[in-house]
Amino acid sequence: MSLRIATAPISWGVSEVDGWGVQLPPERVLAEMRSLGFEATELGAQGFLPPAPEDKAARLAEFGMTAIGSFVPVIAHQPGIDPLPRIEQELRDYAASGATVLVVCADSEQTGYDAQREPLTDEQWSTLFTNLDRITAAAAAVGVTATLHPHVGTVVETKDDVDAVLRGSTIPFCFDTGHLFLGGTDPVQFAAEHSDRIAYMHLKDVSLDGMRRVADGEISYFDAIKADVLYRPVGQGDVDIRAILQSLVDAGFDGWIVLEQDKVVLEEPADGTGPIEDARASVEFVRALVAELESSRSGAAR
């Protein structure tokens, strides 16, 4: 398979958000990732791996894993705040850890992902676009691909937000099928129309019923994840995963597909149970589907 499949600690409940359930130890998470055949992962929230980048790489190597990149929230829309020092710090770490993809999230300055933000002013939009392009250039200068992650509860969340970034900035996207879906962007249409802007992928599946409950205010985003009613193992939800991957295969996409199912772990599960069960279902489904799609494409090319 030319499409590269990886994972991320959030699928085991490891999060940068305070109070996000039980944080499982890296030894368990990495061992379970490797047992499923993963060879690469995102670095996870600060504190999950050792602080020194060389030590991060060494810890991953103990489990036969390599680093892809990290999820970095930064405030990029405020004229008085420069996101570059935080980004440059991350990029310095990348040189030692071997990571190659920077996943930028446009922080709304709110706590958690359920708080509502005010609409951006024209000046704030202009500042955001300028900073996203600066981040793209800074990363490219050291051989790293910067991507923007549209995300619930951030500055770039809705379809209008995504469309504004498509028009106003050159930054490639971290194509998160779940967060785009939740924000009102059709991920199938996005994959078909904007494959040239997709450099990296978070592949999620979403329950339409769970999404409606969050949208209607019946349940918060966090509580929906905690109750396990929002995200599903890939292939078991309402996102058309086949159509999305077909578009990427047809476009010759060669970036990472990171399987994600945001989890809140309430207590440490018994060995062999817990998040690994959904992670196993996701990776088995995606491996089989990718193999099928690439085989069909190769056959058609003969």
Collapsing DSSP to helix, strand or coil, 30 comes out as: helix
Distance from C-alpha of 193 to C-alpha of 25, rounded to nearest angstrom: 40
Of the pLDDT bands very low, low, confident and very high (cuts 50, 70, 90), residue 251 is very high
> Residue 114's pLDDT is what?
58
Q: How far is CA 48 from the centre of its chain?
A: 17
> Residue 1's pLDDT is what?
44
Of the pLDDT bands very low, low, confident and very high (cuts 50, 70, 90), residue 299 is low
236, 207 Cβ separation under 8 angstroms:
no
Average pLDDT over residues 209-223: 91
Q: In the sheet where 256-259 sits, what is the strand order?
A: 66-67, 40-41, 4-7, 256-259, 198-203, 173-176, 145-148, 101-106, 69-74
At 130-155, the pLDDT tens digits run: 999 999 999 999 999 999 999 988 99
Distance from C-alpha of 258 to C-alpha of 33, rounded to nearest angstrom: 12
Report DSSP state, residue 200.
Answer: E
> Residue 17's pLDDT is what?
84
At 114-134, the pLDDT tens digits run: 567 788 999 999 999 999 999
Distance from C-alpha of 90 to C-alpha of 73, rounded to nearest angstrom: 11
Q: Identify the weakest region by mean pLDDT among 98-102, 181-185, 263-267.
A: 181-185
Of the pLDDT bands very low, low, confident and very high (cuts 50, 70, 90), residue 295 is confident
Q: Which residue type, as a one-letter code, is found at position 279? A: A
pTM above 0.85, yes or no: yes
Collapsing DSSP to helix, strand or coil, 6 comes out as: strand
Of the pLDDT bands very low, low, confident and very high (cuts 50, 70, 90), residue 110 is confident
What is the residue-wise DSSP string for 122-187?
A: HHHHHHHHHHHHHHHHHHHTTT-EEEE---TTSSS-SHHHHHHHHHH----EEEEHHHHHHHT--H
Average pLDDT over residues 259-276: 96
Average pLDDT taken over every residue of the chain: 93
Start-to-end C-alpha separation, the chain: 17
What number of residues does the chain have? Answer: 302
